[in-house]
Amino acid sequence: MEQFEHYISSKEVKNIPSDLVLARNLLKDARERFNTFFPYRKPTKFIFENGYEAIRELIDSILALDGYESSSPEAPVTFLLKMNKITEKEADTLEYFRQLQNQSKFSGKQFEEKELQKILPQIREIYEKIRKIVEARVI
């Protein structure tokens, strides 16, 4: 994973004015997306995809608060790592989820129920951790 500064110099991340309204809207979207799918009766790839997207919305909310906007899928995770908001292990997990998301959405990857039963609790755990970080800053 590249350093966050790499994404700034490559213009994949740009500076913007800190945007509390955007951050709150992204938090709202993330909550609604997450709460629509969690808790779930049967694990499906769509629950995974939406759980991951909810996490991404939360991370984008933090970026907006700190005056950044990213077109890179990797940069937001690198930013959280740089700011000591997540661990290396959580960053690796999010990178793994990003790769699974791409496979699911763009290559039609299907998940075994056993695989989802392992992944979905991790999605919930990371979502809750980042949601609390965002809420502490916008509420």
87-119 per-position pLDDT tens digit: 999 999 999 999 999 999 999 999 999 999 999
Q: Place 139 in a pLDDT band, splitting at 50, 70 and 90.
A: confident
Q: How many domains does the chain have?
A: 1
117 is a domain residue: yes
The whole domain housing 24 covers 19-65+88-138
Average pLDDT over residues 57-67: 97
Q: Residue 15 is inside which H or E element, if any?
A: strand 13-15
pLDDT band for position 79 (cuts 50, 70, 90): very high
Please check whether residue 119 lies inside any domain of the structure. yes
The pLDDT tens digits of the residues spanning 20-42 come to: 999 999 999 999 999 999 999 89
Q: What is the pTM of this model?
A: 0.93
Mean pLDDT, the chain, rounded, equals 95
* Nearest-angstrom CA–CA distance, 36 and 48: 12
CA distances from 64 to 33, 111, 129 (A): 19, 33, 18
Residue 1's pLDDT is 77
Is residue 71 in a domain? no
Query: Is residue 73 domain-resident?
Result: no
